Structures are given as C-alpha cells and as structure tokens.
C-alpha cells in the first residue's frame, strides 16, 4: 500500500495534506528546558516500554542512530520539524509506523508531540485516530493535566487541548491572480496561523501554505476541527474561482502550464527550488485536466523524490552539487515514463 504522501485524498486538488498534533508531557517529570540527560533517557525508556506490543506498528527510533540523509528525508516529508532537527540532543527520538501516517517527536519543546497525517482533507478521521492514540498512551504514560488548564505544555498558550490541526493547501491560481495576500489576511483575521510548508516562521514553497489553529485553550478538539474546516472550505472556494478566472484565457493558461511541463521533463539538470516552482504549475495543470501526460500518483512522486534527501534515498547513494541536480533531472524522466 502506498504511503499517505503518495496518495490522493479528498479535495487534494487544493488540500495536499492534513495533520493533527498533540503536545503532551509526562507527569512528575520536569519540562524539557529543565530536564537533564538522565531524566530524558528515563522518559525514552518509559515511552519505549509503553509501546511494546502496540497495534499501530509504532517503533522507537533515536535520531543519533540515523544518518543525515534519512533525517532530512523525514523533514522533507514534513514528519518532523526543522527545530526538532536543529537542536543538538542525543536523546531525541521518534515513534513511527511503516505507513508513516503516525510520527511522534520525543524531546521537542514538550516531552512528546504526537502527530497523525493523511493526504487531502481528512481532519475528522485524523481526529478519531489521534484521540485513540492519545488514550492508549495516556493509560501507560500519565500525561500532565490540570482540571483548570487542561493538558500542561511548556508554552502556556498551547495548554488546554494542546492540539494543533493544520492543512497544507496549494494556491497557485490565487498567487497568479495577485489575490493571495487578501486571502491570507482574511485567514489571519479568523484566528488562524498561515505559514510555509514547515510551520511558523518558514516561507511558502511551490505555492504551498500551511493553515493551522491558534487557539487551544477554552475550545474543544471538535470545535478546532470545525473552525479549520470552515476556513479551508472558503480557501478552496476562492482558489477554484481563481482557477476558473485563469481558464478564461485558455491558450495563455495552457501555454504557461505546458512550458513548465516542457522544462521539467526535458531539462538535463535542475535545482530543487526551480523544480518546486515548475511542479506547482504542473500539478495545477494535472488537477485541471490540461496536462494529461501525468497522473496524480506521478505528480506526488515528483513532489517527493525531487527533494534532495528523498532523491538520494530513491537512488540509494549520496550526491551533491551539480551531480545531484543532474540526477534530479534523470529521476523526473524516469517517473514521467513509468
């Protein structure tokens, strides 16, 4: 079975993926900033014992046992965050299953950040899954909780549900028509965060934006999902209106999209950044039924395997510089011809 990031889900022409994250801390242990190496090792052991025989296929992997390319490949898949990778701590670990739709980061700002993922707009199903996982782990780990403030976190404004729900949306038409700024301002005014692919403080890549809730305290998990779905519906509506507007000048649109496709499939070397920009147009062309040479699966493979670390994993060897850019062009041709 294909991993979630290679699949096409509900409304995946605009919503690339959905994610829900829960921040959790284990009771009777200090928060991360005051947690010494021995305490962190103890937490790892407790979590490792807690998942023995679990039905989700979760296994604990320590970052210190992974090579640099593997860690970067997880980052490119958006399974872990840049901050998690950048902080030097040999106690960092993840809980992950083979499908990679579950990935928890251990020793981030909090002891545990449990995450579930899917392609397309699948927030309700993800909420059911993460609540089930949370209850399973709570029985074993005893998370820090206050009747007044809810789940206790290192950052007080994330207390309460301590839940972040997000969708990754592809908005090339709003960008092309110059309306992206207005839409993003509206999202902010509705109490939502707008960020790049890797969360707050990161820039958009390939016309991709991450929309997530700001409020976690004084609001239930279901209310967070309902509000995010409402905003996402509006975003999808505006992007599709912009796509119809672009389609009025059919020849101009087809010319722009096929020029991107032509460069992508005929280049002899290409950088990762240029590839992202071209793939944004190629995905739009495929979603609109203009570029018929590609399937959704091929587009998803291109979006994944043209990232530098996953490209090297795909080829099974370490590459850099011009050789990496040349191999990227070769892999594009291979995927397109599959």
Assigned token pair, 132: 């089930």
Q: Is the pLDDT of residue 70 over 80?
A: yes
Mean pLDDT of the chain: 94
Query: What would the pLDDT profile of 236-249 be if each residue is shown by its tens digit?
Result: 999 999 999 999 99
List Cα–Cα distances, 158 to 21, 219, 251, 292, 319, in angstroms: 11, 11, 49, 45, 40
Residue in the structure block whose two tokens are 């592809």 = 170
pLDDT for the residue numbered 118: 98
User: How is residue 199 annotated by DSSP?
Assistant: B
Q: Is the pLDDT of residue 202 over 60?
A: no
* Mean of pLDDT values over 24-32: 95
Contact 120, 101 (CB under 8 A): no
List Cα–Cα distances, 307 to 15, 96, 273, 304, 314, in angstroms: 20, 21, 9, 6, 10
CA 98/CA 96 separation, integer angstroms? 7
Residue in the structure block whose two tokens are 């839940």 = 163
* Mean of pLDDT values over 203-224: 90
CA 199/CA 82 separation, integer angstroms? 9
Question: pLDDT class for 87, splitting at 50, 70, 90?
Answer: confident
Query: What would the pLDDT profile of 31-61 be if each residue is shown by its tens digit?
Result: 998 999 999 999 999 999 999 999 999 999 9
* Mean of pLDDT values over 156-183: 93
Cross-strand partners of 19: 117, 166
CA 133/CA 4 separation, integer angstroms? 18
* Mean of pLDDT values over 201-225: 87
Residue 32 contacts by C-beta under 8 Å, 6 or more apart in sequence?
Answer: 107, 108, 109, 110, 111, 154
Domains and CATH numbers, the chain: 4-241 (3.30.590.10), 250-337 (no CATH)
Task: State the pTM of this model.
Answer: 0.94
* Mean of pLDDT values over 298-325: 96
Residue 57 contacts by C-beta under 8 Å, 6 or more apart in sequence?
Answer: 97, 98, 99
Query: What would the pLDDT profile of 185-200 be if each residue is shown by its tens digit?
Result: 888 888 899 987 765 5
pLDDT for the residue numbered 199: 59
Query: What would the pLDDT profile of 91-117 be if each residue is shown by its tens digit?
Result: 999 999 999 999 999 999 999 999 999
Which of 62-66, 152-156, 164-168 is predicted with the least confidence, judged by mean pLDDT?
152-156
């Amino acid at each position: 079975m294909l991993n979630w990031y290679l699949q096409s889900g509900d409304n995946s022409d605009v919503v690339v993926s959905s994610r829900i994250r829960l921040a959790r801390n284990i009771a009777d242990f200090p928060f991360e900033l005051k947690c010494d190496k021995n305490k962190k090792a103890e937490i790892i052991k407790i979590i490792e014992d807690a998942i023995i025989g679990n039905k989700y296929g979760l296994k604990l992997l320590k970052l210190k046992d992974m090579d640099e390319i593997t860690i970067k490949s997880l980052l490119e898949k958006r399974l872990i965050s840049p901050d998690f990778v950048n902080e030097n701590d040999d106690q960092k670990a993840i809980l992950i299953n083979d499908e990679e739709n579950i990935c928890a980061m251990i020793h981030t700002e909090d002891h545990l950040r449990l995450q579930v993922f899917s392609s397309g707009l699948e927030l309700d199903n993800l909420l059911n899954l993460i609540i089930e996982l949370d209850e399973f782990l709570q029985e074993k780990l005893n998370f820090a909780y206050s009747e007044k403030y809810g789940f206790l976190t290192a950052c007080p404004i994330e207390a309460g549900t301590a839940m972040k729900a997000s969708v990754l949306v592809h908005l090339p038409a709003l960008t092309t028509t110059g309306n992206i700024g207005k839409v993003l301002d509206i999202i902010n005014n509705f109490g939502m965060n707008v960020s790049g692919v890797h969360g707050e403080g990161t820039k958009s890549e390939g016309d991709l934006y991450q929309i997530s809730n700001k409020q976690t305290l004084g609001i239930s998990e279901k209310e967070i999902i309902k509000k995010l779905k409402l905003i996402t519906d509006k975003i999808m509506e505006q992007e599709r209106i912009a796509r119809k507007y672009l389609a009025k000048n059919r020849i101009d649109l087809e010319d722009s999209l096929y020029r991107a496709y032509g460069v992508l499939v005929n280049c002899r070397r290409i950088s990762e950044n240029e590839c992202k920009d071209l793939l944004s147009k190629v995905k739009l062309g495929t979603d609109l039924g203009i570029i018929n040479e590609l399937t959704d699966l091929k587009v998803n493979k291109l979006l994944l395997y043209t990232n530098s670390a996953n490209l090297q994993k795909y080829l099974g060897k370490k590459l850099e510089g011009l050789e990496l850019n040349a191999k990227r062009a070769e892999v594009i041709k291979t995927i397109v011809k599959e």
